[in-house]
Structure 1
Amino acid sequence: MKVLKTKKLYVGDGSVKENVYIGFEGSEIVHVGDETGGTYLGEFEVVTPAFIDPHSHIGMDRAGEPWYEEEANETMDSILPYLNAEESVYMDDKAFEESVDWGVLYSVVLPGSGNMIGGRAALLRNWKRNIDEAFVKYVGVKAAMGYNPRSTTSWRGTRPYTRMGAVALFRQALSKAQADLEKMRKGKVTWDELDPISKALIPVLEGRLPFRIHVHKEDDIAIIKRLAKSFGFKYTIDHACDVHTEEGFRLIKSLGVPLIYGPIDSHPYKVELKHESYKNVKLLIENMPEVTAIMSDHPVVLQRNSYLQLRFFMKYGMSFAEAIKLITSNAAKIANINAGEVKVGKLASLVAWDGEPYVLGSTPQLVIGEGEIVRS
């Protein structure tokens, strides 16, 4: 067993412990408590769970490459649920290395939002060298509402010019998949006879994968509510950056679905973001869904800096112990991974710091990914 001691432990569930020993064997934490034997790795000021980014395009939109070589959006058609995000990821994107330097060990990588349905979202281990080692699982199917899918009329395939056109394409694809699922249940068709779009959407209709829905404005969120009622799919709200009223945040909370908020430190570069402001965080805190996380949307906010967005939650009254849940335990729930908390039975993915992570100048001294020392 490998063991380290910390003066302060942010568990990841909102609690804090002092002067504890953390032991792990293989990829799993096996001890959190009093002094214990084992291979001693040292004493540190602070330990936190490794950070998890629940929404990014890291490895697809790559550092050091011109914009026209990015691979976050496939332009051949607007309904492409059968795409796999990780198949456009290069693990030699130096952003992965820099993310690991700052304790971000997991990324949910999604296709971009230029398509109404863009493909499967992949959970990746940031510290691995190739995509086979990095890939963990699929954690959703990307969809998009609002301006982005209707802004791509120059791309190939059938393209919407309006929001109502985009929603119509979305509804058409789901209706077709729903009809195909019913035919298959009745024995009228086999799985092999279904087209790739229906095959990719049936797991969503059956509740095995959620839609990960890019959406900014309150009206588009209301449309999602209507569609989910019609088709019964599970989903997350990703972004919601234009929501700026108490009524809007109450609507999101009433849906009972996870919210992946942000990015907060980005520039509002389009009309549907005209109400974006860090000041909206105050309303979010007052009306926060049970499972709320924050994103980098890398490269919109560099993933290595995603944890710095927690300062806005602290500004409006959250303790750091509570705020860190937004990039640890809550993000782990969304990504469906047994991490995000420093507890027995959880994956040994954690970060040892030389000071409080929210203090300018503090830096990780030891980063452990599933029991493997990846930075020292």
Structure 2
Amino acid sequence: MQAILGKTVYTGEERSLSNCYVVFENGRIADVTSEKPECEVMGEYEMLTPAFVDAHSHIGTIRAGEPEEEEDANDDMDALLFELDVLDSIIMEDTSFRDSVEAGVLYSCVLPGSANVIGGRSVLIRNFADNTRDAFIKYTGLKTAFGYNTKNYENGKGVHAATRMGAVSLLRKMLIKGKKAKTLVEHGKKSVDELEPRMDTVLSILDRQEKLRVHAHKTDDIMAALRLADEFSIDMTIEHASDVYRKGTFDFLKEKGIPVVYGPMDAFPYKVELKHESWRNAEYLIGSGVKFAVMSDHPIVLQRMMLLQMRHFLRLGLTREQCISRLTKYPAEILDADGIGTLAKGKVASVVCWNADPFSLDSYPVAVYAEGKKVV
């Protein structure tokens, strides 16, 4: 058993503690206590936080130091690629992983890019692992994209849409096909083994066993996604929502119980569908009360810079504790990753030790523990 002491401990639960020990054993937190434990104290630090969790990135697929044509985030075979697994595109040698770990970002949800209506399965990984076998934690849903990107994929082969309505219709057509296949199976007229391979995934969507991670920046692209959610009773998250500049959209998502993985902020709005993008829009996100986490969308915002985005939320009235939770507890909850995101008994011992308050420009991690092992 070992322990580390923090003069201030941000637990991830929207609160902080003073002069507390985080005690861990076998990679798990055994206690968070103000009483000195009877074990080795590995260090004393100004601040402790949970390891950060990036709920939306392309790290390892769009890699540092490699030309654009070598990226592995988007495949051009077809608009609907239910069979793809982004884990097969991740290269852990990407030097961005090292930078992220040094910045306290230990977990990434990696998604395929947004060129395809269905881009493939997304995955939660450990940034500190040597290979994808050791990095893998769990699958986190199917990347789905609405809006400009899917209708502007000039290199796309197979069937691709030229309009927004075309992109939505491709997905709707497949979901209708899935409903009919499900009926045939339920009535014994077909077995699951007789269905085409992608239909297994479509059925898992219809059964709400697999959620859609919906790339959408604009309000009306979000509304198109919600129409499908209502029509087919689909579980989904909204990813980005960067161009939403009215509170009503976030209010509606709150009413529907659909969480948002928001951002990236501090990125250049390089296309028309981002013309209303502004850090000020986050005021409506906060005010709605919808559950949300903040993404990097690495490399759009470098993952190591993810914490810097939280200055906007401080300006808009969130406390430091609440800001930390948007990078820890809430992304873990949205990803259904129970073991990470907070400093509490039973959680993994992934802890970032800071020389000063993380929100100070002169602060940086001086030690990082990844599931009980010191990696920085």
- TM-score band by shorter chain is over 0.9
Instruction: Render the CA deviation track for 1:238-281: whole Å, top value 9, x for unaligned.
Output: 00001001223222322211100000111000000000001111
User: Separation in 1 of the partners of 2:202 and 2:371?
Assistant: 32
Query: Residue 311 of structure 1 aligns to which amino acid in structure 2?
Result: R
CA distance in 2, matches of 1:77, 1:296: 27
Residue 249 of structure 2 corresponds to: 248
Cα distance between partner residues in 1 of 2:187 and 2:74: 36
Q: CA contact under 8 A between 2:76 and 2:155: conserved in structure 1?
A: no
Q: Secondary structure at the match of 2:234?
A: coil
Report what 1:235 is aligned to: 236
Per the TM alignment, residue 145 of structure 1 is displaced from its structure 2 partner at its CA by 0.6
Question: Once structures 1 and 2 are overlaid, which stretch shifts more, 149-158 or 235-244?
Answer: 149-158
The equivalent residue for 1:6 is 6
Q: In the TM superposition, what whole-angstrom CA distance separates every residue of 1:311-339 from its partner, at most 9, and x where no partner exists?
A: 10001111110111111000111122211
Deviation, 1:144, is 0.6
Kindly state the Cα deviation for residue 193 of structure 1 after the two structures are TM-superposed.
Answer: 1.8
CA contact (8 A) 2:52 2:341 kept: yes
User: In structure 2, what is the equivalent of residue 40 of structure 1?
Assistant: 41
The equivalent of 2:316 in structure 1 is 316
Task: Return the offset for 1:38.
Answer: 1.2
Name the SS for the 1:327 alignment partner: coil
Task: Indicate the residue corresponding to 2:66 in structure 1.
Answer: 65
**Distance in 2 separating the partners of 1:207 and 1:342:** 30
Measured in 1, the distance between the counterparts of 2:336 and 2:97 equals 21
1:27, CA displacement in angstroms? 1.7
Conservation of the 8 A alpha-carbon contact between 1:153 and 1:160? no
Q: For the residues of structure 1 that align with 2:217 and 2:89, how far apart are their CA atoms?
A: 25
Where do 1:126-205 residues align within 5 Å? 126-205=127-206
1:355 aligns to what?
356
Rounded Cα–Cα distance in structure 2 between residues aligned with 1:79 and 1:335: 23
Tell me if structure 2 keeps the 8 A contact 1:10–1:48: yes
Aligned-pair Cα RMSD in Å: 1.0
Alpha carbons 1:177, 1:197 under 8 Å: kept = no
- Per-residue displacement from partner, 1:34-83 (whole Å, max 9, x unpaired)? 21111220110000000000000000000000001101001010000110
Which residue of structure 2 aligns with residue 206 of structure 1?
207
Following the alignment from structure 2 to structure 1, what is the Cα–Cα distance between the partners of residues 195 and 107? 34
Give the conservation status (yes or no) of the 8 Å contact 1:116–1:149. yes
- Tell me the secondary structure at the aligned position of residue 279 of structure 1: helix
Q: What letter matches 2:294 in structure 1?
A: I
Partner of 1:345: 346
Structure 2 Cα separation of the partners of residues 367 and 275 of structure 1 = 38
How far, CA to CA, are the matches of 1:217 and 1:357 in structure 2?
32
**Aligned partners of 2:206 and 2:232 also within 8 Å:** yes
Range 250-259 or range 301-310, more displaced: 250-259
Q: Which letter does structure 2 place at the counterpart of 1:295? A: M
Aligned to 1:303: 303
Counterpart amino acid of residue 321 in structure 2: A
Q: Which residue of 1 aligns with 2:17?
A: 17
Q: Deviations over 1:8-49 (max 9, x none)?
A: 000101011000111101121001112111122011000000
Deviation at 1:231, TM superposition (A): 0.6
2:82 corresponds to which letter in structure 1?
P
Aligned equivalents of 2:348, 2:203: Cα separation in 1? 31
Q: Which position in structure 2 is the counterpart of 1:336?
A: 336
* Residues 214-225 of structure 1 aligned to structure 2 (within 5 Å): 214-225=215-226
1:119 & 1:258 partners in 2: Cα distance?
Answer: 20
Amino acid of the residue matched to residue 320 of structure 1?
Answer: R
Distance (whole Å) between structure 2 residues aligned to residue 188 and residue 99 of structure 1:
51
Q: Give the corresponding residue for 1:26.
A: 26
| Counterparts of 1:179 and 1:27, CA distance in 2 | 47
1:273-294 residue CA offsets vs partner (Å, 9 max, x unmatched): 00000111122211130x2101
Aligned to 2:80: 79
CA distance in 1, matches of 2:283, 2:187: 51
Asked if the contact 1:81–1:142 (Cα under 8 Å) also holds between the matched residues in 2, the reply is: no
Counterpart-to-counterpart distance in 2, 1:58 and 1:93: 8
Deviates more, 1:175-184 or 1:133-142: 175-184
Q: Tell me, yes or no, if the aligned pair for 1:153 and 1:161 is still in contact at 8 Å.
A: no
| Identity %, equivalent residues | 43
Q: In the aligned structure 2, how far is the partner of 1:374 from the partner of 1:206? A: 40
Residue identity in the other structure for 1:147? Y
1:330 maps to a residue whose letter is Y
Distance 1:86 1:46 in 2: 34
Taking structure 2 as the reference length, the TM-score comes to 0.98
**For the residues of structure 2 that align with 1:183 and 1:54, how far apart are their CA atoms?**
37
- Equivalent position of 1:265 in the other structure: 266
Partner SS state of residue 24, structure 1: strand
How far the C-alpha of 1:186 sits from its partner, in A, is: 2.4
1:224 Cα shift? 1.3
What amino acid is aligned across from residue 26 of structure 1 in structure 2?
N
